[in-house]
Amino acid sequence: MQIYLTWLYCRFKSIDQAQRFLDVYTAVYNLFNLGRHLVSASHYRVLRQGAFASWGKVTVA
């Protein structure tokens, strides 16, 4: 993970820019990354629908 972060920071003009990207990336990643192996298929579908509804509200605004 540390190597990835070092590579990622090198791709941005400043540490602040990289940090802003990672803040947004983390929020989106956490919204869509569900432990599929931890829930049943029907519950997973309900969670997916909720995540996409939340994403729709955020992107339309």
pLDDT > 90: percent of the chain: 0
CB 49 within 8 A of CB 35: no
Question: Angle at CA 31, nearest 5°, toward 16 and 43?
Answer: 170
Enumerate the domain spans of the chain.
2-60
Long-range contacts of 37-43 (CB under 8 A, 24+ apart): none
- Tell me what pLDDT residue 61 has: 54
Amino acid 9: pLDDT:
59
User: Residue 30's pLDDT is what?
Assistant: 73
User: What phi and psi, each to the nearest 5 degrees, are found at residue 17?
Assistant: -65, -45
pLDDT at 49 over 70: yes
Q: How confident is the model at residue 26 (pLDDT cuts 50, 70, 90)?
A: confident
Strand ranges in the chain using DSSP code E only, listed in sequence order: none
* Token pair in block for residue 60: 């339309």
Report pLDDT digits (tens) over 2-20: 565 666 656 777 778 878 8
